[in-house]
């Protein structure tokens, strides 16, 4: 959530930045400022009344002690009048605060100055051209959903039977490959200084709102009405909320967290050939990394996280490229996002496997997450990234490494998987 002080003091930068999202926010920004003016006015009136009441209460006690009963009763009547005014005034102030917060929740984060303007994925900037040789498999290459049947990797029909479409069941070698990748990612993350957590898979409304899933993405989240809980779309949500409301000492920073979870996304409206197989599913496994950092260090930490994810893809021997997302393609809460895409040889297209983002103070303002400085207390910057999401990684590993009689695994996975290849099911 944007700070009202930012909207007041840096209005032109805010409007210029939000224009990169194709959003003309002048009226919305002015409305927020007006609502805050109203909140301040009500707060001042209430504070004045309460201060007068406290002063009168002290005076009344002194008057009674000195035997000036009539004067004391006169002032007591004024205290009663004030009490009658403060109740409705407090209600009005609470409504003003709620209205202000709701207006702020409707404004997305302001893109960083380096974020390109644009309206869709076509306007994203290639930040780093592709690394690694693109496999040339010829006309006999099979997409991963065909290889899955030959090698017994996952079964979409079993998922339909037990749950519905978009819930693959991984079997045999596929289940083992998933477990190998999760362990590999977690080991690399913890070696890089991230502390591993195993967070809950359901969160309450406050948690989802604090990281920006509400009110922006409620249509994409699975909801459990009986318990008023949401299934997590990513481990970012519970991991970042572990520090909600905290006031941290500066010497603890940066804080690095990692965690593996299943993720649940409704992905409403996602249809077509481009979402076949594992390209887009409702449940998938992912390992996440999160950092809480000082504002002056956060973009160095963002670069650090980008380099870390790039290192994982190099070790997996997958050709990849990095995009810097334009304003119109960037998430609601992000100030800057880098997307990683791996090459899918059989589909002959790039598949997104990770987003690494800096949210600056947008999440921490909702989280009330601060740290102590010599100047007082300040909001932290929050960052997160996928390291990594499994479905499209598996799709690319299967497609890019297929041979006539096996699917060869990158060397880094040999120890985790126990073998150097996947072999076809016995006929």
355 is in an annotated binding site: yes
Compute the distance between CA of residue 39 and CA of residue 4 in angstroms, rounded to an integer: 12
373 is in an annotated binding site: no
In sequence order, the 6+-apart residues with CB closer than 8 A to the CB of 329 are: 118, 119, 120, 121, 123, 124
Nearest to 345 by CA among 394, 401, 389, 278: 401
384 is in an annotated binding site: yes
363 is in an annotated binding site: no
258 is in an annotated binding site: no
Compute the distance between CA of residue 234 and CA of residue 214 in angstroms, rounded to an integer: 14
Residue with tokens 């920004």: 29
Q: Which helix (H) or strand (E) holds 337?
A: strand 336-344
Q: At what angle do helices 26-65 and 69-105 cross, to 10 degrees?
A: 160
131 is in an annotated binding site: no
Residue 234 phi, psi (nearest 5): -170, 155
267 is in an annotated binding site: yes
Q: Are 192 and 309 in contact (CB under 8 A)?
A: no
**Cα 177 from chain centroid?**
27
Nearest to 405 by CA among 378, 385, 425, 383: 425
352 is in an annotated binding site: yes
E strands along 78-224, which residues? Answer: 125-131, 154-155, 169-170, 195-197, 202-203, 223-224
353 is in an annotated binding site: yes
- Sign of the CA dihedral 178, 180, 183, 189? negative
354 is in an annotated binding site: yes
The answer to whether the bond into 215 is cis (omega within 30° of 0) is yes
185 is in an annotated binding site: no
160 is in an annotated binding site: no
Compute the distance between CA of residue 321 and CA of residue 364 in angstroms, rounded to an integer: 30
Residue 347 phi, psi (nearest 5): -85, -15
Binding-site residues: 234, 265-267, 281-284, 288, 352-355, 384
Binding-site residues for ATP: 265-267, 281-284, 352-355
Binding-site residues for L-serine: 234, 265, 288, 384
């Amino acid at each position: 959530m944007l700070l009202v002080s930012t909207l007041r003091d840096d209005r032109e930068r805010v409007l210029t930045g939000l224009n990169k999202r194709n959003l003309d926010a002048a009226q919305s920004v002015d409305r927020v400022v007006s609502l805050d003016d109203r909140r301040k006015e009500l707060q001042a009136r209430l504070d004045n009344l309460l201060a007068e009441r406290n002063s009168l209460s002290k005076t009344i006690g002194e008057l009674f002690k000195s035997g000036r009963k009539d004067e004391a009763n006169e002032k007591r009547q004024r205290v009663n009048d004030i009490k009658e005014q403060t109740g409705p005034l407090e209600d009005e102030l609470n409504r003003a605060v709620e209205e202000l917060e709701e207006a702020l929740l409707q404004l997305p984060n302001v893109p960083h100055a380096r974020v390109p303007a644009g309206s869709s994925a076509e306007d994203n900037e290639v930040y780093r051209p592709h690394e690694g040789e693109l496999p040339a498999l010829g006309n006999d290459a099979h997409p991963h959903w065909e290889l899955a049947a030959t090698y017994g990797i996952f079964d979409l029909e079993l998922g339909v039977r037990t749950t519905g479409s978009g819930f693959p069941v991984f079997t045999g070698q596929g289940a083992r490959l998933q477990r190998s990748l999760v362990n590999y990612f977690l080991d690399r993350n913890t070696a890089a200084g991230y502390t591993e957590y195993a967070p809950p898979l359901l969160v309450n409304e406050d948690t989802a709102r604090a990281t920006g899933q509400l009110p922006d993405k409620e249509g994409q989240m699975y909801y459990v009405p009986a318990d008023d809980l949401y299934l997590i779309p990513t481990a970012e949500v519970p991991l970042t909320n572990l520090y909600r409301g905290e006031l941290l000492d500066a010497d603890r920073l940066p804080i690095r967290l990692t965690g593996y979870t299943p993720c649940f996304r409704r992905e409403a409206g996602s249809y077509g050939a481009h979402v076949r197989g594992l390209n887009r599913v409702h449940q998938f496994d992912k390992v996440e990394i999160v950092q809480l950092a000082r504002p002056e260090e956060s973009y160095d930490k963002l670069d650090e996280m980008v380099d870390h994810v790039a290192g994982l893809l190099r070790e997996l021997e997958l050709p990849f490229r990095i995009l810097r997302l334009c304003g119109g393609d960037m998430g609601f809460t992000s100030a800057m996002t880098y997307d990683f895409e791996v090459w899918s040889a059989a589909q002959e297209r790039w598949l997104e496997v990770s987003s690494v983002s800096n949210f600056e103070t947008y999440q921490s303002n909702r989280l009330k997450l601060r740290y102590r400085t010599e100047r007082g207390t300040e909001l932290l910057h929050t960052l997160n990234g996928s390291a990594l999401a499994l479905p499209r990684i598996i799709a690319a590993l299967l497609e890019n490494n297929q041979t006539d009689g096996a699917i060869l695994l990158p060397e880094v996975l040999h120890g985790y998987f126990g073998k150097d290849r996947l072999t076809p099911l016995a006929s």
